[in-house]
Amino acid sequence: MGASRFEFRDVWEYITSNQDYLIRLMIQHAHLVFFAIVLGVVIGITLGFLSAYYKPVAAVVLPFAQIMMTVPSIALIGILLPFVGLGFNNGLVALTLYSLLPIIRNTYTGLNEISPSILEAARGMGLSERRILWRIKLPLVLPVVFAGIRTAIVMIVGIGAIASYVGAGGLGDLIFRGIARMRPVMILTGAIFISIIAIFLDIIMGWIERKLIARQT
């Protein structure tokens, strides 16, 4: 019990004495995650829609996204080295690839689970496929897509720590330095701040999701 109190007191002392350094690492981490999720959302939703409309696309895209999830993160950034080198770009590509599966799968599943009777009724009212997409499909699939985005964000915030191994920056730097110097306080501090970012972003996304759904209803 006493060791636990001592450990957390050390963490607090480390945080208060290294505020500028920790803020810089948090900004780097958030910056990497932000651009990765933006790319993941654009690519994932696009591929999800294409997969739902064209089955041959689904037969390629869904297995590819699933395979990406099975590749260990440290192996993936190593595989990417000949193509994008070290640094931010390596981490960005790796995190974008990891974010794709939940976004593609939720978009694909959400579109396929829309009741055919709803779509038939919309066509019977004379709505074009474009209007059906914007007025019927998108509102119905939005909550499912947002759930996939939230899952992807929380996931890549944690995986983002590995990106510092190739010089992408972020809170992973603190964790790896803690391991190298055998300083648990640095490792624990990095883990705590990564968790804080993940929880904060999940809360923000949940708030946005509720607002969008409320506007639709």
Is the model's pTM score more than 0.85?
yes
Q: Rounded CA gap, 183 and 188, in Å?
A: 9
Residue-number span of the structural domain to which 116 is assigned: 21-216
Distance, CA of 203 to CA of 181 (rounded, Å): 34
CATH number for 136: 1.10.3720.10
Is 12 inside a domain boundary?
Answer: no
Per-residue confidence in pLDDT tens, the chain, 217 aa: 444 454 678 888 899 999 999 999 999 999 999 999 999 999 999 999 999 989 999 999 999 999 988 898 889 998 999 999 888 999 999 999 999 999 999 999 999 988 888 888 888 888 888 888 888 888 889 889 999 999 999 999 999 999 888 888 899 999 999 999 988 999 999 999 999 999 999 899 888 888 877 766 6
Instruction: Provide the number of structural domains found in the chain.
Output: 1
